[in-house]
Chain A
């Protein structure tokens, strides 16, 4: 075939002078190499990091959880400290400028008077009484974790002054300090409960998925029945059965056990279906043939395959437990004073006519909603990252 001049095909074409490398398609770029050699957890982290909302939620949760070990240092008062002169005192706003001049963060002192018509205390800001907030200071005495005496705090009220950032309740207890102390119980209840639920879920899901047969169908029936029951009424009944004579610590443990006791079916079901799929894999069969015991096969060979899934789904059931504790304490069935949790604080808000007059009693609602939202976003991010090879 001859091609005449002027034909569009007749032009110079580029030829790469370099020698042809027949494995070019198989060589990995440094980026790919990094990806293929990274561990599963590393890839999960890369994937998780892309989920901006989940990362932010995680950061917020870490902030909140700081209150768990350091509650005594953060709160300006202890949780059950009463200020008899300040019953139902409103929140004191933090100001920076006094009469046009910068005066650092301070609050105005409160002046109490009695309103004889409604028969209650009325607090007004005394605009001449400047009470600067002290930082890294020594305030009232506390027992750190109930063990070590101390009085050092992050910030405290001025000498002889008050600092009620979110007001006080009916006995003059500082609501903000209550929130900080309450975080200790409210935030850990979910973690302990989930731990119990994971142990139960792994056990029942594990035996059901691995052995199959009659054990499997028995566990499946139990799961089905438990899942078809409304949780909250059962939680209520179980925590009403906790003896009144128990100390707060035991009640707390009892509540976490109750919360975990009804939560495992979902987890067990996930474990079971994963196990059913994984035990057919060749590496599992090889291990069995080499004489590994069932528990070893489950622990060493199958479990690592879906740990990430368990963590992700567990993180999604933590908020439900936090809410469960809150609901029970709100209904007077869970924790009680002197134990302080967000639900116990909300208990003060049971009478709506009181709340309308003293709205700051609703304050615990805010951290609860923030924490629950954050856990939901975090769980979503974890769930997406849990299967990094997809």
Chain B
């Protein structure tokens, strides 16, 4: 097991490198950089006084170097103007727009991003698991049809539109804002139980909005997998021998169906993280979503680069956890075989 974990973590390193390079290419795509554009604007306005300062900043942030060098400096593999000082050394870069280190800009939003995504994944698990089992064991019952219908609609309703609709109706019917992270009176207040509860209450709606599509997909998968298993002969044998239904279900078919269930959560994580970014923008949650949008619009490259990388790492980490869970569950995987899907 330890060997498997080690191997799994080591394979993440090249992936991370490729992703960081990809991110850097993307944030460098727009013509020029934040400071060059400012210099151009100042020059057009005929102001030359502050240009010198900006030129100094350009070399300070190594923006005047060739592409590959800039990338390596950003990561921290190459000495920049201040020696080795990149992401690996814990320097996340400088936000030009806010005139602050990136760490100070995104710092407060990171915990909530992680909490929101974890809550969504847990929500998907907790809701889809019992419903999937129910739908499979009571196939073609009214409940099964009901859940299938709700699931279909949930699968097809785009999450940010769902967020928008919920936002509208909660405003319309209850006059209350479901956006934001907490009730306005707690903003800036010291931590208390009431404040924590308020945050939890505000997390419910975004969690449901982001998780609905994923939950619907998981219910369908679990139902299909479990139905396949329930029709196998070992189930009939166990039943013929007089095993109780509940014990029979938990002991054999469920364990078999659990495997693809967990593997699928891993595949679902990218879309969940995607959803959390846009739903945060719609519902005005202080996660990295709105920060990313602002940074992209103002071409604040180090900020947007860091957020993109953070979101990608969050996804990779989620997939790692799901893979490790799978290995715990299924000895065939940690011993080198492949899981049947």
Contact = CB atoms under 8 A, between A and B. Distances in A.
Given A225-B15, A352-B171, A241 B158 contact: no
A362 B165 contact: yes
Interface stretch (B44-52, B133-141, B233-241, B291-299): B291-299
B327 interface: no
Contacts of B110: none
Most A Cβ at <10 Å: residue of B158, B273, B304: B158
Interface stretch (A156-164, A199-207, A295-303, A364-372): A364-372
Interface in B120-157: 152-153, 155-157
A32 to B, nearest CB: 28
Given A236-B293, A362-B164, A376 B270 contact: no
A362 B282 CA distance: 14
B312 A229 contact: yes
Interface in A222-271: 224-225, 227-234, 236-238, 240-241, 243
A166 interface: no
A238 B315 contact: no
B281 interface: yes
B59 interface: no
B308 interface: yes
Contacts of A365: 161, 164-165
A28 interface: no
A369 B212 CA distance: 15
B184 to A, nearest CB: 15
Interface in B289-322: 292-293, 296-297, 299, 304, 307-308, 311-312, 315-316, 319
Interface in B65-104: none
B308 A233 contact: yes
Contact of B156 (A238, A319, A331): A319
Contacts of A240: 30, 296-297, 299, 304
B15 A230 contact: no
Interface of A is mostly: helix
A369 B156 CA distance: 7
Contacts of A228: 15, 270, 312, 315-316, 319
B6 interface: no
B277 A233 contact: yes
A276 interface: no
Contacts of B304: 237, 240
Interface string A144-170: 000000000000000000000000000
Contacts of A362: 164-165, 168
B2 interface: no
Contacts of B311: 230, 233
Interface residues on B, range: 35 or more
A283 B316 CA distance: 42
B179 interface: yes
Interface residues of A, number: 39
Contacts of B15: 224-225, 228
A331 B281 contact: yes
B26 A241 contact: yes
A59 B59 CA distance: 61
Most B Cβ at <10 Å: residue of A224, A238, A352: A352
Contacts of B273: 230, 233
Interface string A70-104: 00000000000000000000000000000000000
Given A232-B274, A233-B273, A237-B308, 10 more contacts: A224-B15, A228-B15, A230-B277, A232-B278, A233-B274, A233-B292, A238-B26, A240-B296, A240-B299, A327-B158
23 contacts: A227-B270, A228-B312, A228-B316, A228-B319, A229-B270, A230-B274, A230-B277, A230-B315, A231-B271, A231-B274, A232-B277, A233-B273, A236-B277, A236-B293, A237-B26, A240-B304, A346-B164, A352-B167, A352-B179, A362-B164, A369-B157, A373-B156, A376-B155
Interface of A: 224-225, 227-234, 236-238, 240-241, 243, 319, 323, 326-327, 330-333, 346, 349, 352-353, 355-356, 359, 362, 365, 368-369, 372-373, 376-377
